[in-house]
Structure 1
């Protein structure tokens, strides 16, 4: 690895109780115990990075700069999307290591002003084997002007062959924030989300939406080899979302027909048969 590559490593015991609590929060029965395979994307519950209050930004996230993510001078953070490659199951109760690097960081001028794009790459290892590689795409932007027009989101497809409605409330958002140790205030502080960042409600976590898509598509396609997703527009806690699938394509449709997220999945059997 080059000397100028920014990297860090974390360890976690992969506590089964945390995964079982997430199952319950999703309305499922708690089934995960020591040695159980973790459902895909449940690694989001682990590898916490707690910081003292005086090291946090106004949004509740750790202040950027000095760690993996450089300070690019823009206050609003969004998880824009990501990609996952599944090698083998992670198992609860077995120590694991997460190795992370800053893969890229760049700025550009968009329609609404300056934007910063950051991509992190994570590898998760357990018992000497690579279990998962994840690319995480983050976007940073300026605060919205009070008179700025809201961007018009794309219209979602309506040709799904499988669909499932899911609902979110402030309790689920709080529980997911707690289980992932995510302090981002847009998910639990309504006044902040509305008055500072300009949202009409609490924002449903992008990874929580992606988790719902992953759980649905694994039921339909079997164990996954890869999954990628990209956010199109935020979903509020009072909105019902429709999870949709047509072949390898997945998307989340909002109650007004807008596209909230798009995704693509490949199953292990298909991927290994190419």
Structure 2
């Protein structure tokens, strides 16, 4: 068992209505923004619980330097591969909350493109002493890309959706989402770094932003969500228009070329 398993820390935050209002505008939602005392929409806790660090504690990618809370496994590229959430009780905007985080598992595996490290982090968010949200975050670390290696072939997305929505992105939207979530990963705002160091075709749309769009779609059809899980299967670039799809409890993001970029389930 890796010695990082069991590491934990706690962050405290008051759920500022101004941040919720900013995310409401960024996402282009209709109607008034959620205000103080209102329930926080699902997954909006991502814009809270900031942990700002000085530059010397950041890695080359702009994220928190590995080797501290997250162990250094010799693999520099980080991806948020997926997650699972249980919404147990509404979080209220304007009220202080605590987020407890613990490393639940660390595993090394050999993938088709080389070694992979899988780290599972569990978050629990409390408000007024009550557990309101459980979240498992699945992180993957891998080697730098080999420029001569063929790119992985993503899965083909389903086309039998009953509900669909198209969404487009641009560099400004990605920068603003990075700012609201205090996500320093340079693949979302530094196109030269994204292309030349991490091997992408442009700026990468945040996986959690795609999951957020699916959650809003699910909530409009199902009402208040009890659970949501998602897994990223292919990156989306900032210049692409994607289709968010839903059929029953199944949801997915389809790229313009028909590839599956994310799959999810909601209840």
Classify the TM-score, shorter chain: over 0.9
Tell me the residue number matched to 2:103: 102
Does 1:225 find its partner at 2:226? Answer: yes
SS in 2 for 1:122: strand
Aligned to 2:76: 75
Alpha-carbon shift at residue 265 of structure 1 (Å): 0.6
Decide whether aligned partners of structure 1 residues 137 and 26 sit closer, same or farther in structure 2, where only a CA change above 3 A counts: same
Deviation at residue 66 of structure 1 after TM alignment: 2.1
What TM-score do the two structures reach when normalised by structure 2? 0.97
- Which residue pairs with 2:55 in the alignment? 53
The SS at the match of 1:137 is strand
SS, match of residue 217 in structure 1: helix
Q: Which residue of 2 aligns with 1:269?
A: none
Aligned residues: 264
Point out where structure 2 has 5 or more consecutive residues left out of the alignment.
none
Shift of 1:4: 6.8
Contact 1:24 1:30 in 2 (8 A): no
Provide the residue aligned with 1:124 in structure 2.
Answer: 125
- Counterpart CA distance in 1 for 2:51 and 2:149 is 35
Q: Is the 8 A contact 1:21 1:30 kept in 2?
A: no
| Per-residue deviation, 1:160 | 0.3
**CA deviation vs aligned residue, 1:34-76 (integer Å, no higher than 9, x gap):** 1111100000000011110011100000101221x11111000
| Inter-partner Cα distance in structure 2 for 1:228 and 1:45 | 19
3-state SS of paired residue (1:224):
coil
* Paired residues of 2:102 and 2:123 also in contact (CA < 8 A): yes
| Contact 2:5–2:103 (CA under 8 A) maintained in structure 1 | no
- Checking the alignment, whether the CA contact within 8 Å between 1:166 and 1:242 is kept in structure 2 is yes
Paired residue secondary structure (2:219): helix
CA distance in 2, matches of 1:40, 1:61: 24
Report the Cα offset of residue 30 of structure 1: 4.5
Partner of 1:175: 176
Q: Distance in 1 between matches of 2:158 and 2:33?
A: 35
Deviation at 1:192, TM superposition (A): 0.3
Give me the whole-angstrom Cα distance separating, in 2, the residues matched to 1:84 and 1:232.
18
Structure 2 CA distance for partners of 1:202 and 1:4, relative to 1, 3 Å = closer
TM-score (norm 1): 0.94
Partner of 1:24: 25
Cα RMSD (Å): 1.3
Query: For residues 5 and 41 of structure 2, what CA distance do their matches in structure 1 show?
Result: 35
Check the 8 A contact 1:17/1:32 in 2, yes or no. no
* Consecutive unaligned residues in structure 1, runs of 5 or more: 267-274
Partner of 1:7: 8
